[in-house]
Amino acid sequence: MQDILDILRDYGLLLAVGQFPDGPIGGLALTLILAVTGLTVSFPLSVLIGVGRTSHHPAIAWTCTAFVTLVRALPLLMLIFWAYFVVPLIIGRTVSALTTVICALVVYETAYLAEVVRAAILALPKGQTEASRSLGLSASQTLRDVILPQALFNAIPSILNQFISLVKNTSVAYIISVSELTYSAYQINAQLMTKPLQVYLILAAIYFIICFSLSRLVRLVEKRIDASRKAPVAAGSAA
Amino acid sequence: MHLDFGAVLTPQYAHWILWGAATSAALFLSSWVLAFASAAVLVAIGSAPFRGARWAVAGFVAYHRNIPMLVQIFVWYFAVPQLLPEPLTRWVNSHNSEFIFAMIALFLNAAAYMSEDMRSGLRALPPAQMEAGRALGLSYLQTMRDVLLPQAVRAALPALVNQSLSLFKATSLAMAVGVAEMTYTSRQVENETYRTFETFAIASLFYVTLSFAIMALGAWADRRNLRAAGH
């Protein structure tokens, strides 16, 4: 126990923010930056692909389905290695390990989030589309103003769950030496040599606290959403 | 771009790749069997009418769901040996410790997720089934094993197939502690040949083929299930 406190005192700052402000940001801060960036970039893409999967044009539906199926069949690690190879080919210059990881995480998350979006769209009663079309709205207006607002609202808990899994997935960045939380702990362990148990318990505890509190938050949000869906719609409010 | 798969599939490199494929498959199959069996045990314990048992299972599940798989592998590979008695550590170290610890981490994690799936499958069953089993003279464990769990597994089949797919993909993380599975050996071949595209294409083909096989198996079991249920 004393060991754990000593490690936290000596290396707590390194675990929290890496070398910042004297060097690049790292540790837990970088883990959270990776996860937030990953979600922010993959969300709009996943809406496009999720909608594409429900499209009536066979070419669009097939392409989106193929993308999702292929990405789901590959380990994240494989995508990271591919990103290392493919991203420089596309943009014509070498990129940092950090950029590589963000690209791989975005592709991976987009596939899983697209499934969430698709499931939320399919879960809406068909009458919503029919009613909207019979009121004279076009197909794209129906999607934008009727279907997506409801589907994405209902999907908030699943999107947050996806964010939790993204936080955990950022740890794979360790493999290509991006100095996020797991890599920082690995470095500390390499410096101390004799305290792997203590170092990795601290690491596990940090992830546990973050992911466990996030999952509690998701449950709370889920209850609020369920309640708001059951409540009678007040006059004049948007459905 | 000039492709040359021949440079990657020389006898030596082909041997590495096949070795990687076999190790990945062995890691997946052994941890899957252990995970499935442990998940059933966890469900039986977690549904027992003792609060302590339920809390222990809930804690086990929470630990494995809220910590990255990679970190769980590190905990087993780097941290746990510090707690094990010296002779046991020596035995493990002389028997491919990387593989053993990675397998333990993988199967415990998958067991936690699978037990959650089975538990929701169990909740879908009418409670009268347990009462009926007990009234017919079966013990709690017999009712669980012979009556409830088979039905719960069937109900949870789609989720269990998804878990199996995650487990298969997670075996690639074992490379972080030096298990020579597919990702590890393909990276080695890439380091030696500089044939990045060819090597990763072969490795990806391996993962995609087996992942599709798992998905197809799931779809087949699902259809059979629906037919058996009379739909």
What is the structure's pLDDT at B219?
A: 87
Predicted confidence (pLDDT) at residue A96 exceeds the cutoff of 90: yes
Give the separation between CA A184 and CA A200, rounded to whole angstroms: 11
Give how far the C-alpha of residue A237 lies from the chain's centroid of Cα atoms, to the nearest Å: 31
CATH number of A2-230: 1.10.3720.10
Q: What is the pLDDT of residues B125-140, one digit of tens each?
A: 998 999 999 999 999 9
Q: Is residue B2 in a domain?
A: no
Residue B231 included in any domain: no
**Which pLDDT tens digit goes with each residue over A178-212?**
999 999 999 999 999 899 999 999 999 999 999 99
- Bridge partners (DSSP) listed for residue A25: A18
Residue B24 belongs to some domain of the structure: yes
Chain A nearest C-alpha distance from B171 (Å): 9
Query: For residues A147 and A149, what is the distance between their CA atoms, to the nearest angstrom?
Result: 6
Residues of A in contact with B208 (CB under 8 A): 70, 73-74
Tell me whether B173 touches chain A (CB under 8 Å): yes
Give CA–CA dist B13/B186, Å, rounded. 9
Q: Which two tokens stand for residue B167?
A: 């487990």
CATH code: domain of residue B155: 1.10.3720.10
Buried b (16+ CB within 10 A) or exposed e, B139-174: eeeebbeebbbeebbbbbbebbbbbbbbbbbbbbbb
Taking the Cβ of residue A197 and every Cβ of chain B, the question of whether any pair is shorter than 8 Å is answered with yes
Mutate which: B17, B28, B109, B172, vs A, most A CBs within 10 A: B172
B162 touches chain A (CB under 8 A): no
Contact assessment for residue B174 and residue B102, using Cβ atoms and an 8 Å cutoff: yes
Which of B71, B82, B176 minimises the CB distance to A175? B176
Q: Which residue has the higher pLDDT, B2 or A99?
A: A99
> Is A219 an 8 Å CB contact of chain B?
no
Is B154 contained in some domain?
yes
Lowest mean pLDDT among A49-53, A170-174, B50-54, B109-113: B50-54
d(CA B169, CA B208): 10
Above 60 in pLDDT, residue A234? no
Average pLDDT value for chain B: 93
Residue B1 in domain: no
The mean per-residue pLDDT over the stretch B141-157 comes to 91
Residue B73 lies in a domain: yes
Residues A52-78: tens digit of each pLDDT? 999 999 999 999 999 999 999 999 999
pLDDT of A239 > 50? The answer is: no
Q: Quick one: what percent of chain B has pLDDT higher than 90? A: 79
Q: What pLDDT score was predicted for residue B211?
A: 97
DSSP structure string for A7-74: HHHHHHHHHHHBTTTTS-B-HHHHHHHHHHHHHHHHHHHHHHHHHHHT-SSHHHHHHHHHHHHHHHHS
| Residue at B134: amino acid letter | R
Q: What is the mean pLDDT of residues B203-229?
A: 89
Q: Average pLDDT, whole number, for chain A?
A: 94
Q: Does B61 touch chain A (CB under 8 A)?
A: no
* C-alpha distances out from residue B25 to B13, B18, B29, B119, B210, Å: 18, 11, 6, 28, 9
Give how many domains chain B has, as a whole number.
Answer: 1
CB contact under 8 A, B207 and A75: yes
Per-residue DSSP letter, A176 = G
Predicted ipTM of the assembly: 0.93
Residues in chain A: 239
Domain that holds residue B59: 11-225
Distance from CA of A227 to the nearest CA of B (A): 22
Residues 6+ apart with CB under 8 A from A124: A147, A150, A151, A154
> Measured between alpha carbons, how far is A78 from A72 in angstroms, rounded to an integer?
11
Question: Over the stretch B53-112, which tens digit does the pLDDT of each residue have?
Answer: 999 999 999 999 999 999 999 999 999 998 999 899 889 888 999 999 999 999 999 999
**Sequence ranges of the domains in chain A:** 2-230
A81 versus A229: the higher-pLDDT residue is A81
Q: Which two tokens stand for residue B82?
A: 């510090």
Highest mean pLDDT range out of A165-174, B211-220, B222-231? Answer: A165-174
Q: CA–CA separation, B147 vs B173, rounded Å?
A: 37
Q: Which residues of A touch B204 (CB under 8 A)?
A: 74, 78, 82
